[in-house]
Structure 1
């Protein structure tokens, strides 16, 4: 028991050191991505360090649940990759300890991290989101710092456009100034041109003092004489002019109450309560709209008598020529009818557009609340799923460090992110059911984790590249060549005369098989899928060939060894139906696209088998000539 406890401590220590390192790296990456989204709201505002520190702190708290899954994936990959690369995992398995037992203490630790992730999402994140978005909206409303650029129009002062050709950075003096003042409206614009000036802020940072020297001011007077075609203006020359401009650059925190109804600011209990309340509201409003539609909007209105009304209701619209009825009306009645119909339809349309907007908006809010409810659980469970993907995958690839594990982690997380984002988009649009869309990434990745854990625990070569390369070569038909070398110790030389007779027998078998099977011709499509017997003749030919090669490989003659390497490696089953089950072969033949692919593959292997048999005969004759030369000597 002491050995197992020491192993648990060793595994946990190895994992936690890497986990904390990768966690802060992932948190930093997500933080940079978050800042990139809001960089325009932060730059140039002259925000205090305390405000920025508070912003970063709340942003980090909201990003902790997002960084945890990637950190767990990367840390588990690196931990077990290091174990495999240093042969520690091999030594542990050699001691009779399974991979699942090695993972056991880390599973407990990962469950603790899942609980931590859920706590942050359900308790910490809602409060942090309120603070964070309050800061963001306050930052957006803050005026930017006053920094007048040279050579371009500056429009950050509300109601003003300011152009400065040159600026003295040491004294703050401005030269060749042009100001467009639209504070009284575009039609009453004030244009000021000055040789020099200076702009400074008041002590309370609520106003700007503008000092101008040697200039002129032009003012439109359209509001004073709006009936005139030519707009009058007033021109004023000045040697010195001073004015005050409203410019509040203080940072004012807005009220947090605007976040009370947002889904980001609620825990799971509050989300469920809000969903129930909104569903009740939608049901009540829907019933009200229905009653209103039945009793007012689409109710049959008329000023006829009861008998005439019954007749009109029983009449078929197709039997009434509405054009002739309309044409018989007077011009004023026609105008009234058209105006009334247009007014009524527009009024009804606008009314239902407004009602539809309210209903759709409430439905969107319900979906967003339900999405957030499921997200809090799904994102927590993803930590455990990523561990069961990363740990066995690290044991399989057996590569530690920051190379291969980082690449694989990023690829897996990208797949998860794409699936999760797609599901969230479908849920927001109402295309998919909420729980299906929010859990689809879990449904896809969970079987992958179970599969990798099973394969790694059983020392599978599921991720061995050579396995897939060999399978692909086999499917395409690429085969290895023979590489027979001279043996260092040979106990007994082969019986060349007997092997000469065996090769003669092999030649006869090959010729007989070629003549009986017509390998170069296209095979019968129906026969391929219905005839499931094994090709015993080609199996016998292959066995005879391998026996000859095995015996002649004991020769000391290098010429014979070189000729033996010219023998092909026969594929004894590739020219027959692909499966051992007759029913599966018939189904494949019926499905024409798949059946035709296999048909042409079988045909190609039959042609290759024909060439192989001809090559065997040729190599046999070459060997027989060499053997007969040796025997004659």
Structure 2
């Protein structure tokens, strides 16, 4: 049987190696195409571009492996069935389970390799790629700005525009700038129909010249309540030309393209680091919940006191008691209490968003931890779908198997993303959200394997027609009787 096992492995490995590198190339080119506008034309050495592509390839290898396994399993088993080799194997008394046994061992090895890759190589490659990409963007900050989005790469400013044009891509159309340098929020907003970016080589300032626009600024303090902010005055003016000098010294430091400033991204961490950070975040989250619970309790208590105080004022007080109270001062105190209470309620609304952000961050780390484990088994799950499917459809080559592999992986990926979104929003647990695609598709793979072992199709059309005919006969029998 060693010769037989070698033949089966050879029939699988040849299309696997071909499809794996083809899929990896397509994924890398797709990612490069998305980042091309922000990399091209910055005078980056070809060596760093190749490093960028190398890191991309390492990051996308765990995704290319399951697709390669799925496609090659459909092709290998489809070729055996199409050439009547599978019929000869079965006539010799060898079952489908025996045929795919060496392939299962191989796929288990690939799944283990994928797990090691996800836990060690993938975080390192993500760390290198994201920092290299950030440093490339910083080479010319004007070209790092993306149309149609709020660009916050430049400290102290949020810049949005509709279009970037011109030979040097330094002309902006319909510009909106929020000056956040005062750390008071979005209180200063400048809009213009056109913007021109200019900067000299080595200068720590970038000049942004705006034409035909409006200037708006609110004069508020952080301690003010929402109601008080609405009463404060604001400055509003129009201009033909307005010049902003933006400090970009952080872009022109003595940094090299190999500097690593981002290190806490969830994709850059190993399983042990993800678990450690998740636990520390949960401790901070529990402290945050406890402190806010105490704060809410004090608010409820203040409401009750306020309600009780109002009832005292509304009562007809005895003349002797009135001599002990100054109702005017008491009214002032109560008005101040109401103002403080409203400010506290405004704070609670802001805290609700902070609460969701903190919970979402914990869910993100937990989901990433569990998803790394579940995705390492994607090779095995997709193999149990691809191998019996190839045996059933009896079609090799790249045509139909490629279409089926793409459809199946898209379904797997869609379910995985759905689980991730649900887990981040706390609709389901992070554990369930990361394993949902495996829990749905693995039973389907077992069902296909059983049907292929028994020589049955994906579904039996005759059985469906027989069932419909029986139901139809029963209806006729009841109507005639």
Q: Shared topology, TM-score over 0.5?
A: yes
User: Which among 64, 80, 85 is matched to residue 82 of structure 2?
Assistant: 85
CA distance in 2, matches of 1:232, 1:124: 54
Report the equivalent of 1:347: 343
| Contact 2:132–2:259 (CA under 8 A) maintained in structure 1 | no
Higher relative contact order (CA 8 A, sep 6+): 2
Preserved CA contact (<8 Å) 1:76 1:387: yes
For the residues of structure 2 that align with 1:441 and 1:96, how far apart are their CA atoms? 35
Counterpart residue number, 1:277: 280
Structure 1 gaps, min length 5: 147-157, 170-181, 192-198, 211-229, 234-244, 302-311, 478-572, 578-598, 608-633
Q: Measure, in 2, the Cα distance between the counterparts of 1:364 and 1:355.
A: 14
Structure 1 residues 316 and 323 mapped into 2: Cα distance closer, same or farther (>3 Å)? Answer: closer
Rounded to whole Å, the distance in 1 between the matches of 2:100 and 2:466 is 37
Return the offset for 1:410.
1.4
Is residue 58 from structure 1 mapped to residue 55 from structure 2 by the alignment? yes
Q: TM-score, normalised by structure 1?
A: 0.55
* 1:242-281 CA distance string (max 9 Å, x none): xxx9999978548524323x22121111111112222222
| Whole-angstrom CA distance in 2 between matches of 1:286 and 1:395 | 55
User: Is the counterpart of residue 121 in structure 1 residue 118 in structure 2?
Assistant: yes
| Alpha-carbon distance change, 353 to 140 in structure 1, aligned in 2, over 3 angstroms | farther
Alignment of 1:100 with 2:103, yes or no, is no
Please report how far the alpha carbon of residue 418 of structure 1 lies from its aligned counterpart in structure 2 after TM superposition: 1.5
Q: CA 1:51/1:319 → structure 2, altered by over 3 Å: closer, same or farther? A: closer
User: How far, CA to CA, are the matches of 1:298 and 1:476 in structure 2?
Assistant: 64
Per-residue CA shift, 1:579-625, capped at 9, x if unaligned?
xxxxxxxxxxxxxxxxxxxx4x6568x69xxxxxxxxxxxxxxxxxx
TM-score (norm 2): 0.70
Corresponding residue for residue 457 of structure 2: 461
Using the alignment, how far apart are the partners of 1:358 and 1:57 within structure 2?
38
1:63 is displaced (CA, Å) by 0.8
Q: Is the 8 A contact 1:392 1:452 kept in 2?
A: yes
Q: For 2:396 and 2:58, how far apart are their aligned partners in 1?
A: 30
Q: CA deviation at 1:9?
A: 0.8
Alignment of 1:128-527 (within 5 A): 128-143=125-140, 206=203, 252-253=256-257, 255-260=259-264, 262-294=265-297, 297-299=299-301, 320=311, 336=332, 339-353=335-349, 355-463=351-459, 467-468=460-461, 470-471=462-463, 473-474=465-466
| Cα distance in 1 for residues equivalent to 2:52 and 2:315 | 73
Unaligned runs of 5+ in 2: 144-156, 169-176, 178-187, 208-236, 241-245, 317-321
Shift, 1:77, TM fit: 0.1
Distance 1:603 1:86, change over 3 A: same
Superposed CA offset, 1:45-70 (max 9, x none): 33221222121111111111111111
Report the number of matched residues: 401
Partners of 2:118 and 2:372 within 8 A in 1: yes
Structure 2 SS opposite 1:367: helix
Aligned to 1:109: 106
**CA–CA distance in 2 between the matches of 1:126 and 1:388?**
28
Deviation at 1:330, TM superposition (A): 10
**How far, CA to CA, are the matches of 2:59 and 2:30 in structure 1?**
13
CA contact (8 A) 1:137 1:254 kept: no
TM-align CA RMSD: 4.6
Task: Verify the 8 A CA contact 2:131 2:261 in the aligned structure 1.
Answer: no
Is the alpha carbon distance of 1:319 and 1:111 closer, same or farther for their aligned partners in structure 2, counting shifts above 3 Å? same
Q: Which has the larger radius of gyration?
A: 1
1:400 to partner: Cα distance:
0.4
Q: Distance in 2 between matches of 1:268 and 1:247?
A: 36
CA distance in 2, matches of 1:135, 1:402: 36
Distance 1:85 1:131, change over 3 A: same
For residue 287 of structure 1, report the CA deviation from its aligned partner: 2.9
